[in-house]
């Protein structure tokens, strides 16, 4: 502990504050006598008390606020509590509760965390980056707040997402909390409620677009290159129109990835790998109908295509396994306005000549004609997987794979309980948000939550431990397959099928295996120094920070 910080200043430093865990000797030496109650607690005793306090709040948002206040007061205690109760805390510190926290950000704002970079200050970004709380940063998460979960434009309130993501980078991946940095690029907002809210804390102007927006992003990237070279930069919750172009523009220039595109895809592929094994089929045998054609949905399909290529399919054969449906119906070659990435999946118009709704077939007709084995939803269209659609699919498929992945819960394409009922319990389901267990054949079956937390913290751990300079597609696919292996290894002893995804409560351990797979792929791709599996495993163990008072400082 630093000997240059004493008394109330020490208690105000969340990384050094131990609260009631300061010993009598420490209290005397650090000028803390009289500033704390006389009782001396262990970290675990503090965590138990904090856990009780957490349950003293009945509403999820109030619990979220409590945890954020704890994080601002004592980060070691915050992370000890989270790591001890990951499954319980995850829905509160992240989805779905974080959506409400973003929506009410200006209302519940308490203390600053991270950096707010406004369009008006774009020429000073490098200078502002120097104001960061800690000079050494391993992982930076940035959003512009335009497409927060399924809630749309939340402006400055989007800062809740990078804060929440980085909490999980630390709790799951073990990235030291002092070496993380949340960033909000404030390009303005088009949300009328926010623009008319006198208490809104962001830039009270409409979003910049076109060349001005591109300049904002370029100024930010240039500042990061100059001030934080080698830092992992994760793009988060950018609108479809920006997400893919930004990733394409910078993925060969920076150590960077987009979690909505690549992280979501890796988790979906991991769950899909397990589902096909349970169903006794191959990935190459699947027919995929995807509802939604945004950057996340296309990213999922792209990663599945990469895995299909590994199984020996040609690019054309892999593309032919997909049918994309959005609000305007099936993606067809004749449709105007498609991005290059979307157009790769557009079907020939001749293919639907005899279908109902010719020229604009909707989901029900596509399912009827295609007979999919896997139905994936990333549309934010609540209830879009109707009983008619699901029963039609289940009639031609022994073990239908259905992934309603939209967040938050209020935007999910289906309730897993309905899916189980409509398929007579045969469905293999993974969701984007948490749902209660299903009751099938007299036993409770957990619903796999395809949360990106299975991948992005492990990617952060992998690049930190392996000193990677880029995030490659093969690293993400390797991580996805490792997720599937971890799920298979967590099969119950009673002979029940393995869950589609590993238990959330064991994710900190699983993160090491997933990070190892990604690190090995980084070495194979030549974007990390040569290292053996044993050397990488040791580096990952060393890099994974443990929430303990002896490890609070960054050295």
Catalytic residue among 79, 94, 200, 454: 94
pLDDT of 272 strictly over 90 = yes
pLDDT of 481 strictly over 70 = yes
pLDDT tens sequence across 187-244: 999 999 999 999 999 999 999 999 999 999 999 999 999 999 999 999 999 998 999 9
Q: H-helix or E-strand containing 142?
A: strand 139-143
**Percentage of the chain exceeding pLDDT 90:** 86
Q: What pLDDT is stored for residue 455 in this prediction?
A: 96
Q: What pLDDT is stored for residue 552 in this prediction?
A: 53
Neighbour-count burial of 58, counting CB atoms closer than 10 A to its CB (0-12 exposed, 13-18 middle, 19+ buried)? exposed
Region 543-553 average pLDDT: 84
The CA distance from 424 to 57, in Å, is 38
Q: How many C-beta atoms lie closer than 10 Å to residue 59's C-beta?
A: 10
pLDDT of 438 strictly over 90 = no
Place 504 in a pLDDT band, splitting at 50, 70 and 90.
confident
Catalytic residue among 79, 119, 165, 250: 165
Higher-confidence position of 268 and 451: 268
**Sheet harboring 288-291: ordered strands across?**
329-330, 322-326, 288-291, 374-377, 401-404, 428-431, 448-449
pLDDT of 358 strictly over 80 = no
Higher-confidence position of 494 and 431: 431
Q: Is 530 a catalytic residue?
A: no
Q: What pLDDT is stored for residue 244 in this prediction?
A: 92
The CA distance from 33 to 42, in Å, is 18
Count CA atoms within 13 Å of residue 32 on its CB side: 25
Place 497 in a pLDDT band, splitting at 50, 70 and 90.
low
The CA distance from 390 to 29, in Å, is 67
Region 535-546 average pLDDT: 97
11, 17 Cβ separation under 8 angstroms: yes
Q: Is 94 a catalytic residue?
A: yes
Q: Is 444 helix (H, G, I), strand (E, B) or coil?
A: strand
Q: Do the strands 443-445 and 438-440 form a parallel or antiparallel pair, or are they unpaired? A: antiparallel
Q: Is 330 helix (H, G, I), strand (E, B) or coil?
A: strand
Find where tokens 């999820």 sit. Answer: 60
Sequence-ordered list of residues with C-beta below 8 angstroms from that of 259, at least 6 positions apart, any chain: 165, 234, 235, 236, 452, 455, 456
Region 42-70 average pLDDT: 97
pLDDT of 554 strictly over 60 = no
325, 289 Cβ separation under 8 angstroms: yes
pLDDT of 488 strictly over 90 = no
pLDDT of 44 strictly over 80 = yes
Q: What pLDDT is stored for residue 551 in this prediction?
A: 60
Q: What pLDDT is stored for residue 121 in this prediction?
A: 98
pLDDT of 426 strictly over 90 = yes
**Chain mean pLDDT for the chain:** 94
Place 2 in a pLDDT band, splitting at 50, 70 and 90.
very low
441: left (phi over 0), alpha (psi -120 to 50) or beta: left
454, 502 Cβ separation under 8 angstroms: yes
Higher-confidence position of 24 and 311: 24
pLDDT of 359 strictly over 80 = no
Q: Find the helix packing angle between 60-73 and 75-84, rounded to 10°.
A: 130
| DSSP state string for 382-396 | TT-S-HHHHHHHHHT
Q: What pLDDT is stored for residue 548 in this prediction?
A: 96
Tell me which residue of 540, 440, 448 sits closest to 487, measured CA to CA: 448
Higher-confidence position of 310 and 160: 160
pLDDT of 150 strictly over 80 = no
């Amino acid at each position: 502990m630093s000997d240059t910080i004493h008394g109330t200043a020490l208690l105000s430093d969340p990384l050094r504050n131990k609260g009631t865990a300061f010993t009598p000797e420490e209290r005397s030496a650090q000028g803390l006598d009289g500033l704390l109650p006389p009782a001396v607690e262990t970290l675990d005793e503090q965590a138990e008390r904090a856990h009780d306090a957490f349950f003293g709040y009945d509403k999820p948002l109030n619990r979220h606020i409590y945890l954020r206040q704890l994080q601002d007061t004592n980060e070691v205690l915050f992370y000890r509590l989270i790591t001890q109760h990951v499954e319980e805390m995850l829905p509160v510190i992240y989805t779905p509760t974080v959506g409400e926290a973003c929506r009410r950000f200006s209302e519940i704002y308490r203390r600053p965390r991270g950096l707010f970079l406004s369009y008006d200050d774009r020429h000073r970004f490098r200078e502002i980056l120097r104001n960061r709380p800690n000079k050494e940063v391993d992982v930076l998460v940035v959003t512009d707040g335009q497409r927060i979960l399924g809630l749309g434009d939340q402006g400055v309130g989007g800062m809740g997402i990078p804060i929440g993501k980085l909490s999980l980078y630390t709790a799951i991946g073990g990235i030291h909390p002092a070496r993380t940095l949340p960033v909000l690029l404030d390009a303005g907002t088009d949300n009328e409620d926010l623009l008319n809210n006198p208490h809104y804390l962001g830039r009270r102007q409409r979003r910049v677009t076109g060349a001005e927006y591109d300049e904002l992003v370029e100024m930010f990237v240039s500042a990061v290159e100059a001030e934080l070279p080698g830092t992992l930069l994760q793009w988060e919750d950018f609108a479809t129109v920006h997400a893919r172009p930004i990733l394409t523009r910078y993925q060969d220039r920076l150590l960077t990835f987009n979690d909505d595109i690549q992280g979501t895809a890796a988790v979906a592929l991991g769950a899909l790998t397990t589902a096909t094994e349970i169903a006794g089929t191959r990935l190459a045998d699947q027919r995929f109908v995807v509802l939604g054609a945004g950057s996340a949905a296309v990213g999922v399909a792209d990663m599945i295509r990469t895995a299909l290529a590994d199984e020996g399919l040609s690019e054309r054969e892999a593309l032919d396994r997909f049918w994309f449906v959005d609000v305007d119906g099936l993606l067809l070659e004749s449709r105007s306005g498609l991005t290059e990435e979307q157009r790769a999946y557009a079907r020939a118009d001749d293919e639907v000549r005899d279908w109902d709704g010719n020229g604009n077939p909707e989901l029900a007709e596509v399912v009827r004609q295609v007979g999919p084995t896997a139905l994936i939803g990333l549309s934010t269209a609540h209830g879009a997987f109707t009983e008619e659609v699901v029963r039609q699919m289940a009639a031609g498929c022994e073990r239908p794979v259905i992934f309603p992945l939209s967040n938050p819960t209020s935007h999910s394409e289906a309730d897993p309980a309905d899916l189980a009922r409509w398929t007579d319990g045969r469905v293999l389901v993974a969701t984007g948000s948490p749902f209660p267990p299903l009751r099938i054949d007299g036993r409770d079956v957990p619903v796999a939550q395809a949360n990106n937390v299975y991948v992005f913290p492990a990617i952060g751990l992998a690049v930190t431990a392996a000193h990677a300079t880029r995030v490659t597609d093969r690293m993400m696919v390797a991580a996805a397959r490792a997720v599937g292996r971890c799920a298979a290894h967590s099969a119950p002893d009673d002979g029940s099928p393995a869950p589609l995804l590993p238990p959330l409560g064991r994710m900190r351990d699983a993160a090491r295996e997933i990070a190892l797979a990604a690190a090995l792929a980084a070495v194979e791709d030549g974007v990390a120094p040569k290292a053996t599996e044993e050397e990488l495993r040791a580096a990952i163990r060393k890099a994974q920070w443990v929430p303990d008072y002896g490890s609070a400082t960054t050295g």
